[in-house]
Amino acid sequence: MARRCLSAVVSHACAASGLVLAGCGWFVGVDFDSGHPRDGGIPDAGASCDICPDSAIPDPRPMSLAAGGFHACVLTRGGDVKCWGGYIVPAVLWPDDVPRDSLTETLLPRAMPGLTGIRSISLSEGHGCAVSGDGRVKCWGHNEYGQLASSKLSTDEPVDIPILDPVESVAVGGFHTCVLMLDHTVKCWGYGRNGALGNGAATSSTAPVEVGGLVEVTALSAGLTHTCALTTGGAVKCWGLNDHWQLGNSWMASSSIPVHVADIPESVLSLQLGDGTTCALSQNGNVFCWGDIGETDAAKTPTPVKLLGVGALVSSLADGCLVTTAGGAKCWGWNHNRELGHGTPAFFSATPVDVDGLTSGVQAVGRGDGVACALMAAGNVTCWGSSSGALGRSGHFIGNQPPMDVEGL
Q: What pLDDT, in 10s, does the model give residues 220-243?
A: 999 999 999 999 989 999 999 999
pLDDT tens, position by position, 251-300: 889 999 999 999 999 999 999 999 999 999 999 999 999 999 988 888 89
> If you write DSSP's letter for every residue of 146-173 in order, what string do you get?
STTSSS-SEEEEEEE---SS-EEEEEE-
Helices (H) then strands (E): counts for the chain: 1, 33
pLDDT tier, 157 (very low <50, low <70, confident <90, very high otherwise): confident
Average pLDDT over residues 21-46: 34
pLDDT of 107 reads: 78
**What rounded mean pLDDT belongs to the chain?**
81
By the 10 Å C-beta count (0-12 exposed, 13-18 middle, 19+ buried), 92 is classed as buried
pLDDT tier, 397 (very low <50, low <70, confident <90, very high otherwise): low
Residue 402 vs residue 17, higher pLDDT: 402
Average pLDDT over residues 371-380: 94
Reduced to 3 states (helix: H, G, I; strand: E, B; else coil), residue 83 is: strand
pLDDT of 9 reads: 34
User: Element (H or E) spanning 37, and its range?
Assistant: strand 36-37
Of 9-13, 77-81, 256-260, 325-329, which range is least confident?
A: 9-13
Cβ atoms of 280 and 231 closer than 8 Å: no
By the 10 Å C-beta count (0-12 exposed, 13-18 middle, 19+ buried), 48 is classed as middle
> If you write DSSP's letter for every residue of 185-208 in order, what string do you get?
-EEEEE--TTSTT-SS--S-EEEE
Residue 207 predicted with pLDDT over 70: yes
Total-model pTM? 0.82
HSE-up (13 A, CA, CB side) for residue 270: 10
Reduced to 3 states (helix: H, G, I; strand: E, B; else coil), residue 340 is: coil
Reduced to 3 states (helix: H, G, I; strand: E, B; else coil), residue 12 is: helix
Q: Distance from first CA to last CA of the chain, Å, rounded?
A: 34
Reduced to 3 states (helix: H, G, I; strand: E, B; else coil), residue 251 is: coil
Residue 11 vs residue 330, higher pLDDT: 330
Ramachandran bin of 274, using left for φ above 0, alpha for ψ from -120 to 50, beta for the remaining angles:
beta
Spatial CB neighbours of 288, under 8 Å, sequence gap ≥ 6: 264, 265, 266, 279, 280, 282, 304, 305, 306, 307
d(CA 126, CA 143): 9
* Range among 16-30, 288-302, 307-321 rated most confident: 307-321
Percent of the chain with pLDDT over 70: 79
Percent of the chain with pLDDT over 90: 61
Of 72-81, 349-358, 377-386, 395-404, which range is least confident?
A: 395-404
